[in-house]
Amino acid sequence: MLLGRRTGGTTVIQRDRATIRDTVPALYGPLLPPFFSESAPKESAATCLCCPMVPGPGCSPEPSSLFFDPRTKCCTYFPKIPNYLVGGLLSGAAPALAEGRRRVRARIKSRVGVTPWGLLPGKRFDLLYLAGAAHAFGRSEHLACPYHDSASGKCTVRPWWEATCQTWFCKHDAGLDGLTFWRALQRYIAGLEKALASYVLNRTGLFAADPPLHGAVQALDAADLDERPLPDADYRRLWGRFAGREEVFYQRAYALVRRLTRKEFEKVGGASLALRLRVLKEAHAPAVAKRVPPFLQRAPGLASTRLNDGRYRLTSYSEFDPLVVARAVFLLLEKFDGARTNRQIGAALRRAGKAAFSERALLQLYQARILIKPQ
């Protein structure tokens, strides 16, 4: 018995499994510990150029369907690109990244959110994101990333993008376990970014306060609302000898990080990054697991919606990743009461002349937390 996800009428592209190291910028490759050679969880449904969150041709979404605006898709987020990644982008000459370099240089010229830490969103965007992301993510052009090309649907700065962009997926083959892994990887890479950007500041002698967290509540003045650049005196104080030479600074940041050895990187990352690595390792095994717990039960309070064609949409760990199942499958979920083993339930179903769940289907239901361990 196989289960399927709603994909908005698009074709799902299967990708070969990569290592965790393959999922992050190549710059980090020589620095990362051996654990990053482990396989990354496969994500076959979250395909950027064939977006499953955009209705496909001939698709008639039901009123309760959740889709993204095709002009923005999930790129309704303003990344904080650390100094050395900005420098990596600007140091290259690849034609495919020409548009990204143009946009980054325009951002530097604007002097809005241009800091020695890297390129940051302005306070106005942070306020809009705080107020609107919960209900407008993926659907508001006011939250559109300045590095997203709506015409091609591509990111113009990839692979020189930051932790959140590297690790966010709308759907997860391993359900909640996949989401947990990628969030742990995001926290690790975010910690790595801060450590390396700090290393650059220490080596160059510049000083800048920590960038604010996304969504932090801030008081905005007229300059913030109008996204005006810092006054000249404040800007020169921030940038020191690199004022007017920001691109040179970013390229120097890239060169400094590029020369780091793994041993030097371990000192830069310190205990904080080592702790995040432990959390990441713990999240990895469930995300690539192939077996389920022997006892399962239907998740209490499972959100279900009966569709026009008689199937059911089940929403559990994420509103972006519901599971659509046949009515017969939906009714069989009640058989899982946590008192009998999965094997006993399967045998009882076969004696009654009904199809039992395969191990693969059970894994999908469990990782989506439609079936859970007995409470």
CA dist 310 and 353 (Å) reads: 22
Is the torsion defined by CA of 146, 149, 153, 159 positive or negative? negative
Instruction: Kindly list the averaged pLDDT for each block of 10 residues, start to end, along the chain of length 375.
Output: 45 55 94 96 87 75 75 94 98 96 98 96 90 91 94 94 95 96 98 96 88 68 92 95 97 98 95 96 96 95 92 94 94 95 95 92 96 93
pLDDT at position 62 is: 62
Residue with the two structure tokens 């499994």: 17
* Residue pair 238/115 in contact by the 8 Å Cβ criterion: yes
CA-to-CA separations, 27 to 17, 24, 192, 199, 261, in angstroms, rounded: 20, 8, 12, 15, 11
CA 278 centroid distance within chain: 20
Selection from 236, 225, 190, 5 nearest residue 82 by Cα:
190
pLDDT at position 50 is: 83
Contacts 24+ apart (CB under 8 A), 264-268: 265/31, 268/195, 268/196, 268/198, 268/199
CA-to-CA separations, 94 to 88, 98, 156, 162, in angstroms, rounded: 11, 7, 12, 19
As a 3-state breakdown, the chain gives helix, strand, coil percent values, each rounded to 5, of 45, 10, 45
Helix spans in the chain (H): 83-91, 98-110, 123-136, 163-167, 175-204, 222-225, 232-239, 246-258, 262-287, 327-332, 342-351, 359-367
Domains (range + CATH), the chain:
67-287 (no CATH), 295-372 (3.90.930.60)
Maximum distance among all Cα pairs of the chain, rounded to whole angstroms: 81
Sequence-distant (6+) residues with CB within 8 A of 144 are: 71, 72, 75, 76, 150
pLDDT at position 2 is: 47
CA dist 327 and 212 (Å) reads: 48
H/E stretch holding 154 reads strand 154-155
CA dist 283 and 191 (Å) reads: 17
